[in-house]
Amino acid sequence: MLKSKRAEYFAAAVLMAPFVVIYGVLFVYPTIKMVELSFTNAPLIGPGKWVGLDNYWRLATERLFPTAVWNTIYFVLLSALPSTLLALVVALGVNRLKGWAQSVALAAFFLPYILPVSVVYRIWDWMFDANFGIAQYAIAPLDGGQHLSVFRTIPLFMPMVAVVTIWWLLGFNVLLFVSGLRNISTEIYEAAELDGASRWAQFKRITWPLIWPVTVLVLTIQLILQFKIFDQVYLFTQGGYRVDATMVMVQYIYREAFQLNKGGLAASASVVLFVLIAVMSVLQFQLLRARAQR
Amino acid sequence: MSAIPGNKGGAAAPHVELRRVTKRYGVVTAINDLTLTVEKGSFTALLGPSGCGKSTLLRMIAGLERISAGQCFLDGVDVTDVAPAKRRIAMVFQSYALYPHMTTRQNIAFSLSLAGASRKEQDERTHEVARILQLEDYLDRRPAELSGGQRQRVAIGRALVRHPEVFLFDEPLSNLDAKLRVQMRLELAKLHATLHATMIYVTHDQTEAMTLADKIVVLDRGRVAQVGSPLELYNRPANKFVAAFIGSPSMNFLPVGLTAVEGGIATVALPGGRTARVRVGGAPAKAVATAELGVRPEHLSLVVADDANAALRGEVAIVEHLGNLTLLYVDTPAGQVIVEGPGNVSVRSGDTVGLSLREANARLFGADGASL
Amino acid sequence: MTDAALVSDAPPPAARPLVRLRQLDLFGAVVTLATLAGAVVWAFPLYWGLVTTFKPETEIVQPGVHLWPQNFTFENYAHVLMQTKIGLWYVNSLVTSGAVTVIVVVMAAAAGYAISQLEFPGRRVFWAMILASFMVPIPALIVNHFVLMSQFGWINTLQGVVAPQLIAPVTVIIYKQFFDSVPKDFREAAVMDGANDFQLLFRIYLPMNWGITTALAIITFIGAWNLFLWPFLAVSSEEKLNVAVGITQVHDAFGVQYGRDLAVAMLAALPVAIVYLIFQRRVTQAIMLSAGIKG
């Protein structure tokens, strides 16, 4: 199409300007600075001296960071896999419902997703409250009649936070699965039915393969999402002792930067987090692309 | 942008002229060194099969496609590099491209509102157009609520309201069903008669071109095959492509051998043994071994099988009774031949018949397709 | 005749599907029941938290499970509304979420249009950068965002809370994809009618995609309302907190007050819950779109 180049460039400049400014100042610049900061021993605010790979060395050798990394991975495994599978099961059930029953069920599973994390925290903290929480009625018999402060019990902490997180975020996955299931035409099932396939066979040979791309998508979204976890872990360990044992990566960054005023070290941890997530994102992209080409 | 005289002769300068235009898409050349002119007030059809470049040409005139080489003139002014909106040209798209979120009124008035016309002027001109196209009852409906024919009229109205110098139509009837198509054809003809505006019309349907156009430009793979009035193209096709494309049912092509050429008359040998004598024009063809004889179905008539004057003999394969005429598909030594006969023909499938041809209306085509 | 050939050993075909049908019905009933039961279980925590807020504190700390308050009361809410800064937090949340939503939508629509429809130097580079920026986790940038905001003097201000939230590559990508899918005919028709790019964006492309704009605006608003980490870091004084962080700062002089803590939480959740229930379809659509990007 004939267009005046000048008019086009002008329009492009005006339309792109807000984005470029925001993106440049708030994204590109801080990212570059983050890498730069990771090579210094600067405090949170203020200059520091260049120390090369010193920070990274510290991360690798001191105990807390590897613990944080491990805790994060542990948490991701606890929440991403069950969350994905459970969501599929729920979606299979919800997909069978019709009309208002389906809407209500979907809303029930999805509503937690739009709650702020702090509200989720409050609800579950109350339910498991050591003194008066309703969950104690189920826990006490298992604990020899004793109430248990679940979130203060180190081995139970991560699993419980995972449970809370699954409750919070399942709706998102269910939505994606339901949409994926709807894309499978019922005619395929009818044909299988006529061919004499049992329900399990139908699931194994039709549903599972056809929903696999969605499964991979959901799983990888969860993996990447949970790696960045902070809010729930921080909230549930508020005012507690032995925060270190259950620390996660973003929490480590928070601690070093905002509590211990070690900007450079925090930045290096940020870079590690960044790299880990970038690698997973690339893997996700390749996985999905390979799948799509099959 | 200096004014350049349209042509050297004394005739009126063409309204639209494409001069030696070429269009390249990367390594592919879609249109090569093509020149065509459109006279003011005429209805010119660009006719050809898919891929012949007719839409590309139209879009080059509109300014929606860049011209790789050559020039485009509008009323003598070089507009090759002028933006579409400034060319005073309006286009009716094949899909109509009516803005779905606007009412008929808003669709029609859109160009005026973009130009900053006052509400009053917008309303006046919209109503004028709605009156001409009988859209007054539909002004507040959205495109989704209109029928195909109504949508088409809105698309025309959108073009009309701008009082353009040239109207461009890109296969506007192809989305309509057969009956509607006939109806809209009449409306378009009426519109042209009323407005006397220059209209350039792209179509692959030769019936549309034949019925609507003053002048038809037949295009074949990016080149002009022939330009002329409908009857010219019908009766004196310049090459086999045009001869085959125009006319329905299409012309028969009989492979013949050229035995002699003398004084503008060629004697050809028909398969099956007979000969025929056909007028040839231009440079007399030398004794080319083979050529093709083009005969239209209505120029063949049925005779008794053993008639001495029959040019061909064959067995009737299929008979199609259309009521006002009959189409017969006859297998002859020259291949299957279509014959048009009167409505009350009593011949049946399987019968052997003779065919006589009207030599005056037959044309010879050489191996390269050009008319001899 | 050949009727003998019609006789077969298989059971009459009519019987088999009928048996299957009955089995299916039973299975279907079980699944339906299980799903509905699951939905009830899933909704329980929210219900329980909600119902607790309507009980007086004395009832809350009593032993025994009461699914409905014995003495229905609004006193928790009354207390919270008057004694905490929740009114202020609401305003802060409204202002910051509103600002983020408006700025992000306008910026993303403009940029999405430019990348989709215009040709300019660097277009491909920008697009590649946007796609790549997915991989940068925003929580990794908190340190440098904090440094930057303090350099602007924006720590503990509303604009400081808003700024880092304006990074929204997903929104740009969604707009670009939608603008890509607008058939070229409309653009050409509008160009022939004399439209320039700004008119094209505001009078054709955006109006044809209002649904998207609504969906993206809603999801952006909800995300901004619920944000915890950044406002938590960037704001130090109680007056400037947003609602999501504010409710975690509620401390009572008399120790833990369950009813009030939960009441303030419910108030924090109320606006987004209402938005969701009204705009369910749009929210769903927006989620599908953003997940589609990642896939």
Residue from the list C49, C103, C196 with its beta carbon closest to the beta carbon of A7: C196
Residue from the list C185, C194, C208 with its beta carbon closest to the beta carbon of B85: C194
Mean pLDDT in residue range C149-158: 91
Residues B309 and B184 in one domain: no
**How confident is the model over B315-324, as pLDDT tens digits?**
999 999 998 9
Residues B271 and B241 in one domain: no
For residue C294, the model assigns a pLDDT of 61
Residues B32 and B93 in one domain: yes
Which residues 67-126 in chain B show a CB within 8 A of chain C?
Answer: 83-85, 89-91, 93, 95, 97, 99-101, 110-111, 114-115
Residues B123 and B202 in one domain: yes
Structure tokens at B39: 């006279």
Identify whether B149 is part of a domain.
yes
For residue C19, the model assigns a pLDDT of 55
Report chain B residues whose CB lies below 8 A from the CB of C197: none
Confidence category of residue B230, pLDDT binned at 50, 70, 90? very high
Confidence category of residue B362, pLDDT binned at 50, 70, 90? confident
Q: Nearest to residue C294, comparing CAs of C121, C201, C174, C199?
A: C174
Mutating which of C184, C187, C191, C192 best tests the B interface, going by the most B Cβ atoms within 10 A?
A: C192
**How confident is the model over A107-154, as pLDDT tens digits?**
999 999 999 999 999 999 999 888 888 888 888 788 777 788 888 888
Which residues 122-161 in chain A show a CB within 8 A of chain C?
Answer: 122-124, 126-127, 129, 131-132, 134, 137
**H-run or E-run covering B170:** strand B166-170
Report chain C residues whose CB lies below 8 A from the CB of B83: 191
Residues B181 and B53 in one domain: yes
For residue B9, the model assigns a pLDDT of 43
Structure tokens at B59: 């879009």
Residue linked to tokens 């470029």: A20
Judge: C189–B111 Cβ closer than 8 Å, yes or no. no
Identify whether B9 is part of a domain.
no
CB atoms closer than 10 angstroms to residue B57: 28
Min distance B72 CA to chain A CA atoms (Å): 13
For residue B283, the model assigns a pLDDT of 55
Q: What is the CA radius of gyration of chain B?
A: 25
Residues B221 and B304 in one domain: no
Structure tokens at B104: 């008929």
Judged by average pLDDT, the poorest of B77-81, C12-16, C157-161 is C12-16
Contact of B263 with B280, CB cutoff 8 Å: no
Report chain C residues whose CB lies below 8 A from the CB of B100: 208
Q: Show which of B204, B225, B245 is a domain's final residue.
A: B245
Residue from the list C185, C188, C193 with its beta carbon closest to the beta carbon of B114: C193
Judge: C192–B90 Cβ closer than 8 Å, yes or no. yes
Confidence category of residue C251, pLDDT binned at 50, 70, 90? low
Residue of C nearest to A36 (CA): C144
Q: By the CB < 8 Å criterion, does B142 face chain C?
A: no
Q: Beginning with the edge strand found earlier in the chain, give each strand of the sheet holding B252-262 in spatial order.
A: B275-279, B265-269, B252-262, B290-295, B363-365
Identify whether B41 is part of a domain.
yes
Q: Is the peptide bond before B249 cis (omega within 30 degrees of 0)?
A: yes
Residue from the list C52, C248, C269 with its beta carbon closest to the beta carbon of A115: C269
Identify whether B162 is part of a domain.
yes
Contact of B268 with B256, CB cutoff 8 Å: yes
CATH number for position B146: 3.40.50.300
Q: Show which of B245, B269, B286 is a domain's final residue.
A: B245
Confidence category of residue B12, pLDDT binned at 50, 70, 90? low
Mean pLDDT in residue range C142-169: 92
Helix, strand, or coil here: B336? strand
Strands B198-203 and B43-47: parallel
Helix, strand, or coil here: C23? helix
For residue B268, the model assigns a pLDDT of 81
Identify whether B11 is part of a domain.
no
Has residue C169 got a pLDDT over 60? Answer: yes
Report chain B residues whose CB lies below 8 A from the CB of A2: 63-64, 66, 81-84
For residue B209, the model assigns a pLDDT of 93
With a cut of 70, list the residues of chain A below it in pLDDT: 1-2, 239-241, 291-294
Judge: B64–A2 Cβ closer than 8 Å, yes or no. yes
User: Hey, which residues does B313 pair with through a beta bridge?
Assistant: B354
Contact of B224 with B352, CB cutoff 8 Å: no
CA B39 – CA B43 distance, rounded (Å): 8
Has residue B2 got a pLDDT over 50? Answer: no
Q: By the CB < 8 Å criterion, does B162 face chain C?
A: yes
Confidence category of residue B109, pLDDT binned at 50, 70, 90? very high
Residues B301 and B205 in one domain: no
Residue from the list A23, A37, A137 with its beta carbon closest to the beta carbon of C144: A37
Domain around B278: 252-365
Instruction: Chain A: list its partners (3+ Cβ pairs within 8 Å).
Output: B, C
Q: Nearest to residue B71, comparing CAs of B106, B122, B35, B112?
A: B35
Mean pLDDT in residue range C139-165: 91
Confidence category of residue C5, pLDDT binned at 50, 70, 90? very low
Which residues 28-67 in chain B show a CB within 8 A of chain A?
Answer: 63-66
Mean pLDDT in residue range C92-101: 95
Residues B29 and B169 in one domain: yes
Proportion of chain B above pLDDT 70, given as a percent: 94
Judged by average pLDDT, the poorest of B70-74, B258-262, C19-23, C115-119 is C19-23
Residue from the list A108, A227, A288 with its beta carbon closest to the beta carbon of C43: A108
A36: left (phi over 0), alpha (psi -120 to 50) or beta: alpha
Mean pLDDT in residue range B191-213: 92
Residues B230 and B145 in one domain: yes
CA C219 – CA C283 distance, rounded (Å): 6
Report chain C residues whose CB lies below 8 A from the CB of A274: 135-137, 140
* Per-residue buried b or exposed e for C146-177, using 16+ beta carbons within 10 Å of the residue's own CB: bbbbbeeebbbebebbbbbbbbbbbbbbbbbe
For residue C23, the model assigns a pLDDT of 62
Has residue C264 got a pLDDT over 80? Answer: yes
Residues B207 and B299 in one domain: no
Report chain C residues whose CB lies below 8 A from the CB of A174: none
DSSP state of B87: G
Q: Nearest to residue A158, comparing CAs of A86, A77, A62, A256?
A: A77
Min distance C146 CA to chain B CA atoms (Å): 45
Q: What is the mean pLDDT of chain C?
A: 86
Judge: A230–C229 Cβ closer than 8 Å, yes or no. yes
Domains located in chain A, CATH noted:
39-182+212-293 (1.10.3720.10)
Min distance A5 CA to chain B CA atoms (Å): 11
Q: Nearest to residue B300, comparing CAs of B276, B266, B273?
A: B276
Residues B142 and B28 in one domain: yes
Q: Show which of B187, B221, B245 is a domain's final residue.
A: B245
Identify whether B5 is part of a domain.
no
For residue B199, the model assigns a pLDDT of 95
Identify whether B2 is part of a domain.
no
Residues B204 and B156 in one domain: yes
Structure tokens at A200: 């399990």
Q: By the CB < 8 Å criterion, does B1 face chain A?
A: no
CATH number for position B312: 2.40.50.140
Residue of B nearest to A7 (CA): B83
Q: By the CB < 8 Å criterion, does A1 face chain B?
A: yes
**H-run or E-run covering C70:** none
Report chain B residues whose CB lies below 8 A from the CB of A3: 83
For residue A96, the model assigns a pLDDT of 86
For residue A278, the model assigns a pLDDT of 87
Q: By the CB < 8 Å criterion, does A283 face chain C?
A: no
Report chain C residues whose CB lies below 8 A from the CB of A31: 136, 141, 144
**H-run or E-run covering B215:** strand B215-220
For residue C257, the model assigns a pLDDT of 83
Residue of B nearest to C195 (CA): B114
**How confident is the model over B273-331, as pLDDT tens digits?**
788 888 776 555 555 667 888 899 999 888 888 777 788 888 999 999 998 999 999 99
For residue C292, the model assigns a pLDDT of 75
Instruction: Chain B: list its partners (3+ Cβ pairs within 8 Å).
Output: A, C
Q: In the A/C pair of chains, how many CB contacts fall below 8 A?
A: 274
Has residue C2 got a pLDDT over 50? Answer: no
Structure tokens at B21: 């235009």
**H-run or E-run covering B20:** strand B16-25
Identify whether B3 is part of a domain.
no
User: Hey, which residues does B335 pair with through a beta bridge?
Assistant: B332
pTM of the predicted model as reported, rounded to 2 decimal places: 0.83
Cα-Cα-Cα-Cα torsion A52, A55, A61, A62, nearest 10 degrees, comes to 160
Which residues 33-52 in chain C show a CB within 8 A of chain A?
Answer: 34-36, 38-40, 42-43, 45-46, 48-49, 52
Which has the higher per-residue pLDDT, C251 or C211? C211
Residue linked to tokens 């997530």: A277
Q: What's the domain count of chain B?
A: 2
DSSP state of B254: E
